[in-house]
Amino acid sequence: MKDSVYGRQFDVVVAGGGVSGVAAAVAAARCGADVLVIEQAGFLGGTLTSCGVGPMMAFHAGEKQVVLGFMQEVVDELQARGHSPGHVLDTKQYVQTVTPFNVEGLKVVLDDLLTTAGVTLLFHTFIGAVAREGERLTGITVCNKDGLNIINAKVFIDATGDGDIAAWAGLDMTKGRLSDGAMQPLTMKMKYCNVDTKVLKDHVLNNLEDFPHMQKHAELLRQDIPIDLEGFIAEVAAAKAAGELDIARENILMFGTDREGEYILNTTRIIEHDATCAMSLCDAERIGRKQCVQLDRFMKKYVPGFENAMLQLTGPSIGVRSSRQLVGRYTITAEDILACKEFDSVIAHSGYPIDIHNPKGEGTASTFLTEKGSYYDIPYEVMICEPIANLIVTGRCCSATFEAQASLRLTPIVGAMGQAAGIAAAMAAGKDGDARSVDVSKVQDILKKQGAYLRK
């Protein structure tokens, strides 16, 4: 068993079993590649399953669905098994739709998709080192219950989120905002059950003046769909004045899941920490849990409907919005996004706004695309770099400015990128292993055959 993993050369090795990594692995395997996925947790799904992130957003740009393919296949499977209502209207209309899901159901769906595709998988496995000779990666050292071993592949896909393979291979990386290096805050998610949704809804509908983000779309709160809710500004201010809250956040942000009375809180804010530094990440986890204790008391005291709510979990790992970014063949910018720039080499789309949580304290800045329903292209070149031939970097650590990354970091989008990365990696592995010279038009053709949407 051990030799069967470490003693052969895979066509494609994917580092990271989050949504982008799973999409890449399945897409590559469906193209005939021999694929291995390395994941540090004991399950797939990345931030959705290990950090409590939810719902998925956003598959749509206005009423048009611009993310299909593998990611829609995941949603279809979740729906078929009773683990998701599918795409539902966002009750505060920050985006057109959101996609709630059951975490345990998602873990099994992703397991099954990998298994059916014939992908080899190593859970509980960390990357410890990267070997490079010139413009090629020759192997990666992994650590798990087998000890330290080397994994070989023709092509490597970095889907770690933090760009670990790219960084340890010596590539140029950026980190944080260009002006000061500040990164978006980290967040420890909280999940509650036994929330009285009727009481919560009635309170909002009867006090709409206190919920400015909900006023224009209050009729959606009367529909039988999961609630996305932002507000309780006065209550947060009062709790801070009373010394009950010490969080650099001015309001409460919560999302209903696929289950009645279950809600995810996206409210803690751990500023000025670095997810690529072990000590800083450790400190952020502790601060996050302390903030969760404060918030738990706050929710039961100040938020109607939460009086008898039960805190199911925090985390279990802290959520990271941004860290390292590849310096790729092309770097996508905020200007590209807001201009809805089109690229001949497009491999994915997004209509999500530029969503920046203040790296220094309170406030969240959102810059929306000019017209509702508009969307931009993500080109293949953001996932490749000139110095290394056989590396593709997908997901939130692709080549993007701080501001652009704040838009394309969302789950459906990185999943769409991952699908393209997997196809390109399989194509490169079938030739000379050079992902830089892949015919992107052929990648686009296969994406469409695999059900993806491309306007080109």
Report yes or no: 214 and 207 within 8 Å, Cβ to Cβ.
no
Q: Decide: residue 287, CB within 10 A, 0-12 exposed, 13-18 middle, 19+ buried.
A: buried
Same domain? For 170 and 33 the reply is yes
Q: Which long-range contacts (CB under 8 A, 24 or more apart) does 230-239 make?
A: 230/92, 230/254, 231/204, 232/302, 232/303, 234/210, 235/298, 235/302, 235/303, 236/298, 238/302, 239/298, 239/301, 239/302
Same domain? For 29 and 65 the reply is yes
Residue 229 banded pLDDT, cuts 50, 70, 90: very high
Residue 231 banded pLDDT, cuts 50, 70, 90: very high
Q: What is the mean pLDDT of residues 388-402?
A: 98
In a domain, 320, yes or no: no
The whole-number pLDDT of residue 456 equals: 73
Q: Decide: residue 308, CB within 10 A, 0-12 exposed, 13-18 middle, 19+ buried.
A: exposed
Same domain? For 53 and 147 the reply is yes
Does residue 4 have a pLDDT over 90? no
Q: What is the pLDDT of residues 414-437, one digit of tens each?
A: 999 999 999 999 999 999 999 999
Q: Answer with the one of 314, 342, 360 that is the final residue of a domain.
A: 314
Place of tokens 């050079």: 434
Secondary-structure breakdown of the chain: helix, strand, coil percentages, each rounded to the nearest 5: 35, 25, 40
Q: What is the DSSP string of 393-431?
A: E-GGGSSB-HHHHHHHTSHHHHHHHHHHHHHHHHHHHTT
Q: What is the pLDDT of residues 232-261, one digit of tens each?
A: 999 999 999 999 999 999 999 999 999 999
CA-to-CA distance for 325 and 399, rounded, in angstroms? 6
**Between 387 and 372, whose confidence is greater?**
387
3-state secondary structure 182-198: CCCCEECCEEEECCCHH
Residue 37 banded pLDDT, cuts 50, 70, 90: very high
Same domain? For 6 and 132 the reply is yes
Q: What is the mean pLDDT of residues 267-275?
A: 97
∠230-233-238 over CA atoms, to 5°?
145
Give the number of residues written for the chain: 456
Same domain? For 281 and 347 the reply is no
Mean of per-residue pLDDT scores for the chain? 96
Same domain? For 200 and 126 the reply is no
Q: What CATH code is carried by the domain that includes residue 128?
A: 3.50.50.60
Same domain? For 199 and 170 the reply is no
Does residue 2 have a pLDDT over 90? no
**Which residues, in sequence order, are CB contacts of 286 under 8 Å at separation 6+?**
none
Q: What is the mean pLDDT of residues 358-373?
A: 92
Same domain? For 28 and 111 the reply is yes
Predicted TM-score of the model (pTM): 0.97
Which DSSP category does 56 fall into?
Answer: B
**Which residues, in sequence order, are CB contacts of 314 under 8 Å at separation 6+?**
52, 188, 189, 190, 191, 288, 289, 292
Domain containing 10 equals 2-86+99-174+325-352+369-449
CA-to-CA distance for 63 and 79, rounded, in angstroms? 20
Q: Where is average pLDDT lowest: 32-41, 143-152, 265-274, 364-373?
A: 364-373
The whole-number pLDDT of residue 419 equals: 98
Does residue 1 have a pLDDT over 90? no
Place of tokens 């997997």: 422
CA-to-CA distance for 424 and 438, rounded, in angstroms? 7
CA-to-CA distance for 387 and 280, rounded, in angstroms? 30
Q: What is the mean pLDDT of residues 220-225?
A: 94
Q: Where is average pLDDT lowest: 63-77, 133-147, 209-223, 271-285?
A: 209-223
Domains in the chain, number: 2
The whole-number pLDDT of residue 3 equals: 62
In a domain, 118, yes or no: yes
Tell how strand 324-326 and strand 173-175 pair up: antiparallel
The whole-number pLDDT of residue 212 equals: 87
The whole-number pLDDT of residue 370 equals: 85
